[in-house]
């Protein structure tokens, strides 16, 4: 009970209460302040000030909360009670409408919220993925960088945050919302910049013909969408997509968004297209020229059997 009371200016003991007027503790108020009031930047500064070596995650978190209680909370005494900092902040603040971060600004926030690459594995994070975020930020500071490249790293970095903050109360809703807003704004810009003809969607009939010619139904499950998705690999859950024109960066981003929406794996996608101006790791491409005529799917055709795309 020693933590539940403190001395007021008159020397009388006072009771800590939460937002609902219920008795609580000084450390509980510090935890509330840490989770709901402190900005991301301030949280990162506090974490940097607390040594990481030689202590468990739980012990370090307790040390952080104690530091917040001892150094950052300015308790206000009212009617013999100590009110939570969160209540005072809500009462005195006015909501403001803030513009969405640029992709670079959002990536900087992700970098600040992640540990240094040297501590990544200690926090249960892949060192290479954390290092990629830092390297991308530094390259962007040094010179012009493609927004699409930064956006891809931003998505990966955002996915690391829940694990990075699991022992510290989780990722703040404000940060998650602002990162989502930055990603959505960037995706909208990409959509608007890409020529509409380049994102022409194939008909269901055309997709069915492509899948029939290429795989004859072996090892796949049809998943006909209104977009590019035609099927998925039954074993791995990766998507098979049909692009009637050119596979470019904008179309690839559409494909990734469609795969995520359908709950498919995105580490690799299989794409049939007329041509491709964008390639990269994780994209398997087959041109329509490598298939027999899509109008001649008769088994008696004297054309050579198509080279099927390997579904790893």
Residues of the chain scoring pLDDT < 50: 1-13, 77-80, 87-88, 90-96, 197, 295-308
Q: What CA–CA distance (Å, rounded) separates 121 from 112?
A: 17
Task: Identify the structural domains of the chain with CATH numbers, from first to last.
Answer: 5-92 (no CATH), 103-193 (no CATH), 199-290 (3.40.1350)
pLDDT at 10: 47
Smallest Cα–Cα separation from 61: which of 40, 30, 25?
Answer: 30
What stretches of the chain adopt beta strand conformation (E)?
5-7, 13-16, 76-78, 81-83, 220-222, 229-233, 238-247, 265-276, 283-287
List % helix, strand, coil for the chain (3-state, nearest 5): 50, 15, 35
Smallest Cα–Cα separation from 184: which of 144, 155, 160?
Answer: 155
Q: Which residue has the tokens 């930020």?
A: 137
Q: What CA–CA distance (Å, rounded) separates 107 from 101?
A: 9
**pLDDT per residue over 160-185, tens digit each?**
999 988 887 788 888 888 899 999 88
At residue 192, φ and ψ (nearest 5 deg) are: -70, -30
């Amino acid at each position: 009970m020693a933590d539940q009371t403190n001395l007021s200016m008159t020397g009388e003991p006072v009771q800590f209460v939460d937002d609902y007027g219920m008795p609580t503790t000084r450390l509980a108020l510090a935890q509330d302040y840490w989770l709901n009031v402190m900005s991301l930047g301030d949280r990162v500064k506090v974490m940097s000030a607390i040594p990481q070596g030689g202590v468990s995650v739980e012990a370090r978190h307790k040390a952080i909360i104690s530091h917040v209680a001892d150094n950052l909370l300015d308790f206000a005494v009212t009617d013999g009670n100590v009110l939570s900092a969160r209540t005072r902040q809500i009462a005195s603040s006015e909501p403001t409408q803030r513009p969405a971060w640029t992709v670079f600004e959002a990536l900087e926030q992700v970098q600040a919220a992640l540990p240094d690459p040297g501590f990544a594995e200690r926090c249960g994070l892949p060192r290479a993925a954390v290092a990629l975020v830092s390297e991308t930020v530094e390259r962007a500071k040094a010179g012009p960088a493609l927004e699409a490249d930064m956006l891809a790293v931003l998505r990966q970095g955002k996915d690391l945050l829940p694990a990075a903050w699991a022992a510290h109360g989780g990722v703040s809703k404000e940060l998650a919302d602002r990162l989502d807003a930055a990603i959505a704004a960037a995706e909208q810009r990409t959509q608007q910049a890409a020529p509409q003809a380049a994102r022409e969607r194939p008909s269901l009939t055309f997709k069915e013909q492509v899948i029939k010619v290429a795989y004859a139904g072996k090892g796949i499950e049809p998943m006909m969408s209104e977009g590019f998705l035609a099927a998925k690999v039954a074993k791995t859950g990766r998507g098979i997509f049909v692009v009637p024109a050119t596979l470019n960066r904008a179309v690839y981003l559409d494909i990734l968004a469609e795969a995520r929406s359908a709950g498919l794996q995105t580490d690799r996608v299989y794409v049939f297209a007329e041509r491709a101006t964008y390639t990269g790791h994780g994209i398997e491409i087959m041109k329509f020229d490598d298939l027999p005529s899509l109008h001649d799917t008769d088994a008696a055709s004297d054309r050579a059997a198509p080279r099927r795309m390997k579904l790893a």
